[in-house]
Amino acid sequence: MTLYLRADTAGIAAAAALIRAGETVAFGTETVYGLGADATSARAVAGIFAAKARPRFNPLICHFTDAEAAFAHVFPSPLAERAAALFWPGPLTLVLPRRPGSPISDLAAADLPTLAVRVPAPAAARALLAACCRPVAAPSANRSGGVSPTRAAHVLTDLAGRIAAVLDCGDAALGLESTVLDLSGPVPVLLRPGAVPTVALENELGPVARGATPGAMPVAPGMLASHYAPVLPVRLAITRAGAREALLAIGRPVVGGAICFNLSPAGDLKEAASRLFAGLRWLDTEGAALGLQGIAAMHVPETGLGEAINDRLRRAAAPALVPLAEAAP
Ligand code: TXA
Ligand code: MG
């Protein structure tokens, strides 16, 4: 049974009590819903991996109320301190060297010498973290490899019966996951484009190298990675949709498509980002129910938030995780 909690004083207190007791609780942030658990408890963190069916080599982001609390567990470089001062609270995740004495479980960090840390902005998330009195590990609250959730109903679709509770914090304001910036090495490396546009980072912090997105690489031998994948196949940058396709539009819709979800009729990338995952989920569910062949996605400009939107769309269009042993004849 999964409890449904409103994000009022009583709901937040109940959610925090569950997390302190080692349970998994989904909660809203400005980016997407996270599936939270006590980061210092290996048993609690194992509950996250089990609920999501997430491979254990994929590390989790730890969430904190402020930079001081985060930096108690990692060594911040001067650049990390600047990034935190400029972008926290907000949708930026920093990967930094773990402090040896940190009580955060090795499982949360997937045994890496680094840790991803983030300070979310919304009042409900911050109140929850404060009431937990400990770091909260939280990946996106979807089944591993699926589309991230931007509202409580999405979480329940994916994880009802597998987690203790969901704290309904309303629709996620930004709708795209945080930007992940690795500051553990000699040069800053962008591991995942996200809700902070890369140009905004570079304007403030200087040049950032483009790394491979974690989880997108063949991180384990024999694994071909994809992420954010709906059930229906996705076709990109289409100029016309088939009669038996579901159309994901932006701006003026192209011809065709049995059903259409418009990310932003005005072509506004912020609006499009906030509606991307809800749109993909809706087209996927309706499209499958109608027996459609796939989702046809219109071209999205690569500027600003378009970089992260296109990253998620490319992943949605990539083939699913296939162990080589199974793929081989
Ligand atoms: O917006 C977000 O970041 C949301 C909310 C809930 O905070 N969380 C989220 O978590 O998107 P998740 O687990 O879905 O994505 C985190 C990404 C993964 O690709 C993971 O591999 C990477 O961050 N990551 C975590 N720790 C890392 C580390 N130590 N080194 C490199 N990558 C890391
Ligand atoms: Mg995720």
- What is the per-residue pLDDT for 321? 56
- What is the per-residue pLDDT for 226? 66
The alpha carbon of 283 and the centre of ligand 1 are apart by a number of angstroms equal to: 26
Say if residues 52 and 194 touch (Cβ distance below 8 Å).
Answer: no
The alpha carbon of 78 and the centre of ligand 1 are apart by a number of angstroms equal to: 22
- What is the per-residue pLDDT for 229? 80
- What is the per-residue pLDDT for 232? 95
Q: Please tell me what DSSP assigns to residue 78.
A: H
pTM: 0.94
Identify the segments of the chain with pLDDT beneath 50: 213-224, 323-329
3-state SS class at 70: helix
- What is the per-residue pLDDT for 220? 37
Contacts of 272 (CB under 8 A, 6+ apart): 250, 263, 264, 300, 305, 309
- What is the per-residue pLDDT for 59? 97
Q: Candidates 88, 93, 106, 311: which one to mutate for ligand 1, based on the most atoms within 8 Å of Cβ?
A: 93
Contacts of 183 (CB under 8 A, 6+ apart): 77, 79, 80, 83, 94, 95, 96
- What is the per-residue pLDDT for 228? 75
Q: Please tell me the distance from the alpha carbon of residue 304 to that of residue 320, in angstroms, as a whole number.
A: 27
- Residues with a beta carbon under 5 angstroms from ion ligand 2: 140
- What is the per-residue pLDDT for 282? 98
Q: Is 211 in the pocket of ligand 1 (CB under 6 A)?
A: no
